[in-house]
Amino acid sequence: MAEVVFDHVTRIYPGNDKPSVDDLNLDIKDGEFLVLVGPSGCGKSTTLRMLAGLEEVNKGRILIGGKDVTTMQPKDRDIAMVFQNYALYPHMTVADNMGFALKIAGTPKDEIRKRVEKAAEILDLTEYLDRKPKALSGGQRQRVAMGRAIVREPKVFLMDEPLSNLDAKLRVQTRTQIAALQRQLGVTTLYVTHDQTEALTMGDRIAVIKLGILQQVGAPTELYDRPANVFVAGFIGSPSMNINTHPVINGQAKIGEDTIDLPREAVAKLTAEDNGQIIVGFRPEDADLAVADDPNAFSLKVVNVEDLGSDGYIYGNIITDGSAAEASTMMSDQNKLTTVRVNPRALPKIGDTVKIKIDPTKMHLFAPSTELRLN
């Protein structure tokens, strides 16, 4: 068990001028479950592979338990890795797969058997120990890959999207199991995923990365409640945050025909480069239907309604000049529509125009020029 430190780590692939991971500074505390999340191609797997020793580090240092491992071979780092496609050895039985690392380390045979059997018990694999990976289901293979890691009792677990080859139901189930197992074993873990739900549900802390640059590190609620920039705001949370750029007039945001109040200290932070605009974000659950003459609400033309039983969602366009506007939205995967969660027992109809009021304490404001948080 050990602390992991990335100290100004940079990785530039040969033939590229742009670094895939750029000046990364990240601490993973002893026993912590840190999830590295970002869209595909953002450098999260590269980061993991650098920690594993499978990828060269161009600049900076990586420390495991205070020891500089930057130039060490993978075999000398005392880490265990779970690969996306599990990378089980097809010619070995489940037991041999799990015991391979111990065998190389020269552990006595009965000790290996004891540890493999113990891990198999934890992972419910006991009856499959003599089978080859070919004869296992996807979920079982995934557990063997986990077993191979935990048998080692390494300093650090590395997991590279270990759930992405499972079906949706099994993924949710395994997600909980992995998180529980990690807490039980208390081994420092770096977990890479592109799925923000996995990140929110599993991690002690989450690190969001985009184009090789670390955006924000924090506890799941911290990232959810106070995203540091527009990217994190849009990436974390499902359904994702409504994010739009609006003109600022007299300290108020003009949303369509309506204006809503903005906190004064946030408006004060806007600079000339922002061109009198502000990015306003709010989560679907942080807004509500308002009465028609509410002065602090904006109009929305409802184009779609979803009733999930427990929740209701309305999707709509913001009304400008009496018609529904386009092109004013950015960074939201609901087809550029504004999403609001409402009481499913009081859903408006498609085609209705409703007034929406954002909870002022839960509004996220960003400067258009820097995309950084203002409030």
Helix axes of 94-104 and 109-122: crossing angle, nearest 10 degrees: 130
Looking at the Cβ atoms of 105 and 330, the one nearer to other proteins is 105
- CA distances to 132, 142, 143, 333 from 126, in Å: 13, 14, 11, 44
Looking at the Cβ atoms of 189 and 329, the one nearer to other proteins is 189
Looking at the Cβ atoms of 134 and 349, the one nearer to other proteins is 134
Decide if residue 54 touches other proteins (CB under 8 A): yes
How many Cβ atoms are within 10 Å of 129's Cβ, its own excluded? 19
Looking at the Cβ atoms of 84 and 201, the one nearer to other proteins is 84
Decide if residue 87 touches other proteins (CB under 8 A): yes
Q: Which of 62, 80, 190, 207 binds other proteins (CB under 8 A)?
A: 80
| Residue owning tokens 């969001």 | 208
Binders of other proteins in range 137-166 (CB under 8 A): 148, 152, 158
One DSSP character per residue, 300-319 reads EEEEEEEE-SS-EEEEEEEE
Instruction: Decide if 24 contacts 44 (C-beta within 8 A).
Output: no
Decide if residue 14 touches other proteins (CB under 8 A): no
User: Which residues 6+ apart lie within 8 Å of 300 measured at CB?
Assistant: 314, 316, 317, 318, 319, 338, 340, 353, 354, 355, 356
336 — alpha (psi -120 to 50), left (phi > 0) or beta? Answer: left
**Candidates 71-79, 184-192, 277-285, 325-333 — which segment interacts with other proteins by CB under 8 A?**
71-79
Binders of other proteins in range 33-52 (CB under 8 A): 52
**CA atoms 243, 249, 251, 254: torsion sign:** negative
Q: Tokens representing 368?
A: 């258009």
Decide if residue 91 touches other proteins (CB under 8 A): yes
User: How far is 112 from 127, CA to CA, in rounded Å?
Assistant: 17
Burial label, 335 (beta-carbon count in 10 A; 0-12, 13-18, 19+): exposed
**Cβ at position 230, least distance to other proteins in Å:** 35
**Candidates 78-86, 164-172, 234-242, 329-337 — which segment interacts with other proteins by CB under 8 A?**
78-86
User: How far is 151 from 315, CA to CA, in rounded Å?
Assistant: 49
**Candidates 82-90, 204-212, 313-321, 366-374 — which segment interacts with other proteins by CB under 8 A?**
82-90
E strand or H helix at 148: helix 138-152
Q: Residues touching other proteins: how many (CB under 8 A)?
A: 23
Looking at the Cβ atoms of 152 and 283, the one nearer to other proteins is 152
User: How far is 337 from 132, CA to CA, in rounded Å?
Assistant: 50
**Cβ at position 12, least distance to other proteins in Å:** 20
Binders of other proteins in range 287-346 (CB under 8 A): none
Decide if residue 74 touches other proteins (CB under 8 A): yes
Q: Which residues pair with 339 in a beta bridge?
A: 315
Decide if residue 191 touches other proteins (CB under 8 A): no
Looking at the Cβ atoms of 85 and 343, the one nearer to other proteins is 85
Looking at the Cβ atoms of 106 and 309, the one nearer to other proteins is 106
Q: Which of 21, 69, 81, 146 binds other proteins (CB under 8 A)?
A: 81
Q: Which of 14, 66, 90, 322 binds other proteins (CB under 8 A)?
A: 90
Do you find a cis peptide bond into 162, omega within 30 degrees of 0? no
By rule CB under 8 A, what string of x and - marks binding of each residue 232-261 to other proteins? Answer: ------------------------------
Reduced 3-state DSSP string for 170-198: HHHHHHHHHHHHHHHHCCEEEEEECCHHH
Q: Which of 29, 75, 109, 118 binds other proteins (CB under 8 A)?
A: 75
Burial label, 298 (beta-carbon count in 10 A; 0-12, 13-18, 19+): buried
By rule CB under 8 A, what string of x and - marks binding of each residue 96-135 to other proteins? Answer: ----xx--xx------------------------------
User: Which residues form the interface with other proteins (CB under 8 A)?
Assistant: 52-54, 73-75, 79-81, 83, 85, 87-91, 100-101, 104-105, 148, 152, 158
